[in-house]
Amino acid sequence: MNERRKNGTRFRIGRPAITPAAEVALDAAGIPAVLLLARHVNCDWGICPWRIWLPTNWPC
């Protein structure tokens, strides 16, 4: 499923949720949760070793 949707994303995000501890950690670091969500929906996971990336992204 490598094709992009009309809004530029590759999949539907469903209903986002965040744990209270994660929210506190992001606030303390000054990182908006919506920024990480936007990166995720656009398949931007930062630096990811190929051993982790390959099994989850290789076409079935």
Structural domain spans, the chain: 1-60
- In this structure, are residues 56 and 26 in contact, taking their beta carbons and an 8 Å threshold? no
Of 46, 42, 48, 36, which is closest to residue 4 (Cα–Cα)?
42
Confidence of residue 42 (pLDDT cuts 50, 70, 90): confident
* pLDDT tops 70 at residue 53: yes
Instruction: Say which residues have a Cβ less than 8 Å from residue 32's Cβ, sequence separation at least 6.
Output: 26
Rounded to an integer, the average pLDDT of 21-40 is 94
Kindly state the average pLDDT of the residues 37-56: 82
Cα 39 to its chain centre, rounded Å, is 5
Per mean pLDDT, which range of 2-6, 35-39, 41-45, 49-53 is the poorest? 2-6
Tokens of 38: 């936007």
Interatomic CA distance for residues 35 and 49, integer angstroms: 22
